Amino acid sequence: MSGSPLTLVSHVLCPYVQRAAIALSEKGIAHDRRDIDLSRKPDWFSAISPLGKVPLLLVTQPDGTQAVVFESMVICEYIEETRPDPPLHPDDPLTKARHRGWIEFGSSILADLWGFETAKDVGPYETKRRGLTDKFARIEAELGEGPFFAGPRFSLVDAVFAPIFRYFDVFDAIAPTGVLDGLPRTRAWRRALAARPSVQGAVTAAYPDHLEAFLKKQDAWLLKRVA
């Protein structure tokens, strides 16, 4: 532990935690990180997490008391407001509003990914795969020349989509899903995010093993395709 006034309470696989971790890294903010097992939530965590979810950001205040910030984008917005440089939101109000909309779109993709990765047979798997393909086609139409969502400057939209693409790094190593086929700008964006140090450092080296173990536990169709 570094003794930082900030502690990110996390889980090794949670994509929402990764958003906050990326934002903290991009800002150069020192923080501690504390992983928990969500299948056996410790009492101290249940007592301070209103929704029983990660991430939490524990903020030690000057008087020594600790405040709890919950929900990933609330944490990211808090980080943005308290440490404005470098900015992860655009200055223009309309552009910022559009970014927030695409962040919500990213959250909807994560909801679809849950159904995709936990599907136990081909029917639900293909339904979710088609839905994901359609959503990424919408993103392809929105992207410019890159390398990031809004061009040369990394933003919170990038912090949201980097964990999404990380899933496909693991999925496609098992068996290609085809979700991102024919989407050159999206694929280039995925590569740019994968190379970003903040993105790489948001998980441990064991992340692929943890995700594959989760898929096995779920009896996922994704694994049966290569059995």
Give the active site residue among 13, 14, 20, 183: 14
Amino acid identity at 222: L
Give me the sign of the Cα torsion angle 210, 199, 34, 72. negative
Taking the C-alpha atoms of residue 121 and residue 143, their distance in angstroms, rounded to an integer, is 33
Taking the C-alpha atoms of residue 196 and residue 162, their distance in angstroms, rounded to an integer, is 9
Extended strands (E) in 11-85: 32-35, 56-60, 66-70
Cβ atoms of 94 and 76 closer than 8 Å: no
Extended strands (E) in 17-118: 32-35, 56-60, 66-70
Say whether 14 is catalytic: yes
Q: Which two tokens stand for residue 220?
A: 């996922």
Taking the C-alpha atoms of residue 34 and residue 155, their distance in angstroms, rounded to an integer, is 25
Q: Which two tokens stand for residue 20?
A: 């906050």
Contacts of 168 (CB under 8 A, 6+ apart): 177, 179, 180, 190
H or E element that contains 7: strand 6-10
Strands 32-35 and 6-10: parallel
Residue positions annotated with a catalytic role: 14
